[in-house]
Amino acid sequence: MNYSALVLDIEGTVCPISFVKDTLFPYFVNKVPTVVNDIDQQNDTVKQILCQFKIDDKNELINHILGLVSNDIKDPILKQLQGYIWAEGYNSSEIKAPVYKDAIDLINRHNNVYIYSSGSVKAQKLLFGHVADTSDSTKSIDMQSQINGYFDINTSGAKIDSQSYINILKDIKMIDTPEKVLFLSDNPSELEAAKKAGLATGLAIREGNAVVPNVNDYTCYHDFTKLL
């Protein structure tokens, strides 16, 4: 492979698009009642987060939090609580990130890999720190040392904005040779934005991904073995 750097999307590209919806969100929703009801036994971090909601009644607080989730409201306190509960889940091995084997191999073999996802850098690091071992499902592997940098919408901008990719090119010192950087994503709008910034692009086609109507416009990858 002749690319000097890889920039990888996460959901729908290196792991199933369903991971957030079918694993992370249900995990959070299941934990909320216990965390709120046992608030006295929780550590100061989680107490401080819950305090910010300013709701004393426990049932009311649980319903409020679950309401934010079901209505997909981007609440900063909710984000903090989710970050905390997911970190606990990863650290206790209850959650492991289902990164595809071919994506693990690609990341391991290329020495200049970056991640760009709308999920926060913190969440990205947790994910790559706890990747399900494809040969032993009871184990997880820490892939963080294989990744040179992480970008999200706060560090770089929206994923469908070509300026974001220019920002990343500058950060990874590839602004003069953008064609040597390959961006892989399942989202054609993101690929178009990256293409405009001069990057090479590839469309990830994975089970569960939205169907792309003009699929012939892209270099498609059902897995990344031919990139190895």
- Annotated binding residues for Mg(2+): 9, 11, 186
> What are the CA-CA distances from residue 6 to residues 40, 113, 135 (Å)?
46, 5, 25
102 binds Mg ion (CB under 5 A): no
Q: Residue 122 contacts by C-beta under 8 Å, 6 or more apart in sequence?
A: 83
8 vs 181, beta carbon nearer Mg ion? 8
DSSP 97: B
Nearest approach, Cβ of residue 14 and Mg ion (Å): 9
**Judged by CB under 5 A, which of 186, 195, 198, 218 binds Mg ion?**
186
Is 202 among the residues that bind Mg ion (CB under 5 A)? Answer: no
- Cα 183 to the chain's mean position, in Å? 15
Q: How far apart are CA 129 and CA 90, in angstroms?
A: 8
Instruction: Examine residue 152 and tell whether it contacts Mg ion (CB under 5 A).
Output: no
Of residues 12 and 178, the one with the C-beta less far from Mg ion: 12
Residues 98, 205: Cα–Cα separation, whole Å: 16
> What residue is closest to Mg ion based on CB?
12
Binding-site entries for substrate: 117-118, 159
Task: For Mg ion, give the closer residue by CB, 135 or 213.
Answer: 213
Can you tell me the distance from the alpha carbon of 104 to that of 102, in angstroms, rounded to the nearest whole number?
5
Q: Cβ-count burial of 167 within 10 angstroms (0-12 exposed, 13-18 middle, 19+ buried)?
A: middle
Q: What is the DSSP letter of 223?
A: S
Residues 12-41 that bind Mg ion (CB under 5 A): 12
Of 14 and 50, nearer to Mg ion (C-beta) is: 14
Question: Per rule CB under 5 A, is residue 9 in the interface with Mg ion?
Answer: yes
Stretch that binds Mg ion, among 6-14, 41-49, 85-93, 217-225 (CB under 5 A): 6-14
- Which residues lie near Mg ion (CB under 5 A)? 9, 11-12, 186
